[in-house]
A and B are shown apart, each in its own frame.
Chain A
Amino acid sequence: MDQELLLIERARNGERAAFDSLVDIYKGKAFALAYNFTGNAEDAKDVLQEAFVKAYLNIKRFRGGSAFYTWFYRILVNQCRDALRKKQSKMKVLVDMPEPANEDDAAPFEAIENGPGPGEALLNKEIREKVDGAINMLPEKQKMTFILRHMHGMKLGEIAGIIKCSESTAKVHLFRATKNLQKALSPYIKTEGGGEYGVV
């Protein structure tokens, strides 16, 4: 951690090699986050590059008031949001265009799931697609909060710092996101046994 602080300080002083090291530290996790937001590798790559460029241009303005990763993730999340908005407005224009013949051609590599298990048989492809679709349909802040919490394991305090809101507001976004998902996926959810999935 101390070494990271040193790198940040050196990068703030204009040392390019130090910034390159920060890129190496964060690029993996940041790519995963960008991928979860954008849904494909190419867009994730573009968004991530843009975020690093913005971080490089603004690193002198980072004064350690928050953790570096919170500061950088805030830039990244804003980039993802902007990219999604642009994509959505493009989609409106291209709504009548046919789908690509083979979606695999557009994706250089596929999302993977952790570990095998009998549960996978139950959660078939159709449900997975519905889940992805339902997450994508969530309102912006709910989607951000949900992804940061449930796909990246962040604490509410960290999420609040990234999306610039209070912790209680982040909690409300998360609660609503979960409720909306539950509603959207209700045809695929078995109701026996009761008990709603609570928000942590």
Chain B
Amino acid sequence: MASFKDIMDMIAKKKAPEPPKEFWLKFSRELGERLDAIDSRNSSRSHGFAEGLGGVFSVLFQPKPALAAAALVVAINLVLFSLTSGGPGLVSVALLSKDDLAGELVLTDELASGENIVDF
């Protein structure tokens, strides 16, 4: 039999094991591989985006008038679409009712205050 204080002292003294060096080597290697995979995925994504953008510009500037004109039309349409519709899913606040506007403001405020309080 022990007093509850003894038990609490025992809990406080109980330490997690110190992993051996090999454990940390394996841990670092595995974690490193996972982070490498994330890095390479990210870099291939940004590389792909840059290539795509470069492709559009190369079409615009190459000496084939028909292709250049088509690319120009696509680009103008994209710009006009984003200007007139505000982009997919976006609505100008000027068009919102008072209740909706209040809701938007509350949401914006909550998002701002929750900057570091994110569920992962």
Within 8 Å by CB of A119, from B6, B24, B116, lies: B6
Known: A108-B23, A113-B10. A185 touches B4 (CB 8 A): yes
Main secondary structure of the interface of B (DSSP, over half): helix
Give the tally of cross-chain contacts (CB within 8 A). Answer: 121
- B33-50 CB contact bits vs A (8 Å, 1 = yes)? 011001100000000000
- A163-181 CB contact bits vs B (8 Å, 1 = yes)? 0100000000000000001
Interface residues of A in 108-150 (CB under 8 A from B): 108-115, 119, 122-123, 127-128, 131, 135, 150
B93 within 8 Å of A by Cβ?
no
The reply to whether B10 and A123 form a contact with Cβ atoms under 8 Å apart is yes
The reply to whether A61 and B118 form a contact with Cβ atoms under 8 Å apart is yes
The reply to whether A41 and B115 form a contact with Cβ atoms under 8 Å apart is no
Instruction: Give the interface residue-count category, chain A.
Output: 35 or more
Residue of B12, B19, B38, B119 with most partner-chain A CB within 10 A: B19
Within 8 Å by CB of B15, from A32, A79, A185, A190, lies: A32
B98 within 8 Å of A by Cβ?
no
Main secondary structure of the interface of A (DSSP, over half): helix
Within 8 Å by CB of B27, from A35, A49, A113, A131, lies: A49
Task: Report how far A149 CA is from B117 CA in the complex, Å.
Answer: 21
Known: A111-B15, A114-B15, A197-B8. A19 touches B23 (CB 8 A): no
The reply to whether A49 and B4 form a contact with Cβ atoms under 8 Å apart is no
The reply to whether B4 and A41 form a contact with Cβ atoms under 8 Å apart is no
Within 8 Å by CB of B116, from A66, A181, A182, lies: A66
Known: A16-B39, A53-B35, A111-B16. A119 touches B4 (CB 8 A): no
The reply to whether B17 and A111 form a contact with Cβ atoms under 8 Å apart is yes
The reply to whether A23 and B16 form a contact with Cβ atoms under 8 Å apart is no
Chain A: CB-nearest residue to B8: A197
The reply to whether A49 and B31 form a contact with Cβ atoms under 8 Å apart is yes
A57 within 8 Å of B by Cβ?
yes
Residues of A within 8 A of B64 (CB): none
Between-chain CB contacts (< 8 Å), 27 pairs: A16-B35, A16-B39, A23-B28, A31-B16, A35-B16, A41-B19, A49-B27, A56-B38, A57-B38, A61-B118, A63-B116, A65-B115, A66-B116, A79-B120, A109-B19, A109-B20, A110-B17, A112-B15, A112-B18, A114-B13, A115-B13, A119-B10, A123-B7, A131-B7, A182-B4, A185-B7, A188-B2
Q: Assuming A65-B115, A119-B10, what are 11 further A-B pairs, CB within 8 angstroms?
A: A41-B17, A53-B38, A57-B38, A71-B116, A109-B20, A113-B10, A115-B13, A123-B7, A131-B11, A151-B12, A185-B4
